[in-house]
Amino acid sequence: MIEAAIDLMRGSGLSGAGINEIVRASGAPKGSVYHHFPAGKQQIVAEALSDYSVRVMSFIDAALASRDSAADKLAALFSAFGRRVEAGSFRRSCAFGAVCLDLDEDLDGLRGLIADAFDDWARLIARHFDLGDARRTRSFAGLVLTAIEGAYVRARAEQSSRPFIEAGSWLGEVVSPAGLRAQTPR
């Protein structure tokens, strides 16, 4: 059921991930839902997001570790995400992004979980870069995360991985040695 929930959330956020849809997609008997997840939908969603976050971190870490220079790391990361959105036929994106934009007032617990995951992801990204000082590096890592989530939105609309590839290239300019030399300290 966790796998079914992840796939449904990647496809259509909370709107597609109702208990009935999750049960149907998983093939599990409906009675087993409340046995395994006594708190219902919010519990399934929370556990699925937690599992998914571990995978995202492993995916990001592997892509960034595959290259040496900062610009190459960014190109590798964004092209890995580009291949990922292609593999999902532009119908799957980040479960966190899709769920986050669907949250209403009664799901504030999930919001905290998403914020914590984004924080983990940004810290992980920051460990692969050194932009002079820790605060600036961390801010840049946040920009990388912003670009990933935004590129998913555009990639799904445009049915193209180009938003990822272009973002990787632009962010590579930011961290390229020429770009770094051009920066004024602040």
Write out the H or E segment, with its range, that includes residue 113: helix 108-126
Residue from 38, 101, 125, 126 in contact with its own copies (CB under 8 A): 101
Cα 127 from Cα 122, distance rounded (Å): 9
Query: 106 Cβ partners below 8 Å, 6+ apart?
Result: none
The answer to whether residues 25 and 7 touch, using CB atoms and an 8 Å cutoff, is: yes
Contact (Cβ atoms closer than 8 angstroms) between residue 157 and residue 98: no
Separation of alpha carbons 176 and 83, rounded Å: 24
Binding to its own copies by residue 182, rule CB under 8 A?
Answer: yes
User: Which of residues 128 and 156 has its CB atom nearest to its own copies in the complex?
Assistant: 156
Q: How far is the CB of 78 from its own copies (least distance, A)?
A: 10
Residue 96 interacting with its own copies (CB under 8 A): yes
Question: Would you count residue 184 as binding its own copies (CB under 8 A)?
Answer: yes
* Residue 130 to residue 115: CA distance in whole angstroms: 23
| 115 touching its own copies, by CB under 8 A | yes
**11 touches its own copies (CB under 8 A):** yes
73 binds its own copies (CB under 8 A): no
User: Which residues contact its own copies (rule: CB under 8 A)?
Assistant: 11-16, 91, 93, 96-98, 100-105, 111, 114-115, 118-119, 139-140, 142-143, 145-154, 156-159, 162-163, 166-167, 170, 173-174, 176, 178-179, 181-184
